[in-house]
Structure 1
Amino acid sequence: MEPKPEPRMTPKVRTQTESAWKYVFSFFWMILFTAISFWIVLEGTLGTEATFWSITALAAVQVVLQLITFMHLDFGKYRFVAIFMALGIFIAVVSAIGIVLMP
């Protein structure tokens, strides 16, 4: 009785169409978030602070989309890169808050 060979893990082969639609879909969302940001500012219905935080949140989502889609950042494969990027963003946010709150 011969041992059965182990099945090999074969990566999923993407077609060019699937890959292209991924970029188009992500680009659509980024354009939509930019349009929402412009609309928020043009309408002026939100206060200054709410406008700032909503635009900042939309920008953060766009950064993540761009890193994943266009920069090909795979969080499973590049775990240390993602950790150091998150640490850098954290330090930048803490520094920015400190500068804003300084008298």
Structure 2
Amino acid sequence: MEIEPKHEPTLTPTSPQPGDDHARKHIISFISMLILTGISFYLVATNLLPPQTVIVVILILAGIQVLLQFFTFMHLDQKGHFFPLLFLFTGIIVAATVILATTIFMG
């Protein structure tokens, strides 16, 4: 009874390497965040828009960056992250409610 050696599949230089898609996703996300940060700095440095508009645009760009961080670098898009996502979005809803209530009653 002979035991046959196991043959591992060989990867050619042109075949996708394991983890290439993951690294590519991180690089694209990182470059996107750099571009969003550059846009924010440009808007502040050039006084192109009124200050109130710049604040709103920067908050929107910051929100996009937060989502990129959560789903790219914190891997919240993978299975098994239901409870962290639940607690995260519950915290966002509570914080938004407190901020809204504070601005309505104080302002």
Same fold (TM over 0.5): yes
Gapped runs of 5+ residues in structure 1?
1-13
When structure 1 is superposed on structure 2, of 84-93 and 46-55 the one drifting more is 84-93
TM-score (norm 2): 0.72
User: 1:31-69: per-residue Cα shift (whole Å, max 9, x none)?
Assistant: 011001101111112112111110000000000100111
Q: Which residue of 1 aligns with 2:29?
A: 26
Displacement of 1:100: 4.3
Distance 1:80 1:69 in 2: 17
Q: Percent identity?
A: 33
Matched, 1:85 2:88: yes
Residue identity matched to 2:86: I
TM-score (norm 1): 0.74
Gapped runs of 5+ residues in structure 2?
1-16
| CA root-mean-square deviation | 1.9
- Does the 8 Å CA contact 1:75/1:82 hold for their aligned counterparts? no
Matched length: 90
